[in-house]
Amino acid sequence: MLHALLSFAVVAGLLTLVPGLDTALVLRAAVSNSRRYAFATAVGIGSGTLIWGVAAAAGVSVLLTASELAYAVLRIAGAIYLVWMGIGMVRDGLRRRGVIPGGVVDNSSRGLFGAWARGLGTNLLNPKVGVFYVAMLPQFLPDGVPPLLMGCALAVVHNVEGMVWFTAIITAAGLARTWLSRDTVRRAMDTVTGTVLVGFGLKLATSHR
């Protein structure tokens, strides 16, 4: 089991380092709000990873690979969500003016829960995460180890690596906060991140397995 976990850690680690949707969301949260808000977003993404891992191990995610309709429904729902969120960010980036560096940020419980929910929703509405676990689980399933236990263990490994990566991103953003807090930079970050989300959404909508 240890060998399987280490082997999976290498694969998941390489995928974690590839810039993607999750990285863009966390970086945008760190720049536009605060460290706590960014970490809440990261924890939400990690929560989605854990849910997908457990679901795949329990056989729920197999439905995504067996049913074209189930996959298509989740794919379209995820695409709509990403495009909607991306358009909102682009709009905010184009409209924002006169933001004061170090201004008021939303660190209330409600704001942090919203950040967590955004990260969770983005992850759960991406069917390719579920397909990834369905594809990976059989390859890293040692003899005599219950699939549910192994699925949970793989998800935890993936989650830990993701949190380490997100922590590095958030820390780097904090060190460059003076520059990143400039109005032009923050507006550019919102616009770029929003465009990336719309792009991911359109790609997801037109993609196949």
State yes or no: pLDDT of 16 exceeds 70. Answer: yes
Name the percent of the chain lying above pLDDT 70. 78
Structural domain range at position 53:
2-9+21-206
- The whole-model pTM stands at 0.70
Mean pLDDT, the chain, rounded, equals 77
Q: How far apart are CA 199 and CA 19, in angstroms?
A: 14
State yes or no: pLDDT of 110 exceeds 60. Answer: yes
16 located within any domain: no
114-166 pLDDT tens trace:
899 989 988 888 777 777 777 677 677 777 777 778 878 888 998 999 999 99
146 located within any domain: yes
50 located within any domain: yes
24-37 pLDDT tens trace:
889 888 887 888 99
Name the percent of the chain lying above pLDDT 90. 12
15 located within any domain: no
State yes or no: pLDDT of 183 exceeds 50. Answer: yes
Contacts of 169 (CB under 8 A, 6+ apart): 23, 26, 27, 30
One-character DSSP codes across the chain:
-HHHHHHHHHHHHHHHHS--HHHHHHHHHHHHT-HHHHHHHHHHHHHHHHHHHHHHHHTSTHHHHH-HHHHHHHHHHHHHHHHHHHHHHHHHHHH---PPTT-----SHHHHHHHHHHHHHHHHT-HHHHHHHHHHGGGG--TT--HHHHHHHHHHHHHHHHHHHHHHHHHHHHHTHHHHTSHHHHHHHHHHHHHHHHHHHHHHHH---
State yes or no: pLDDT of 40 exceeds 90. Answer: yes
Report the greatest alpha carbon distance in the chain.
Answer: 61
Most confident of 141-150, 160-169, 171-180, 196-205: 160-169
148 located within any domain: yes
55 located within any domain: yes
80 located within any domain: yes
State yes or no: pLDDT of 104 exceeds 50. Answer: no
Domain count, the chain: 1
14 located within any domain: no
Residue 165 · residue 17 · CB < 8 Å: yes
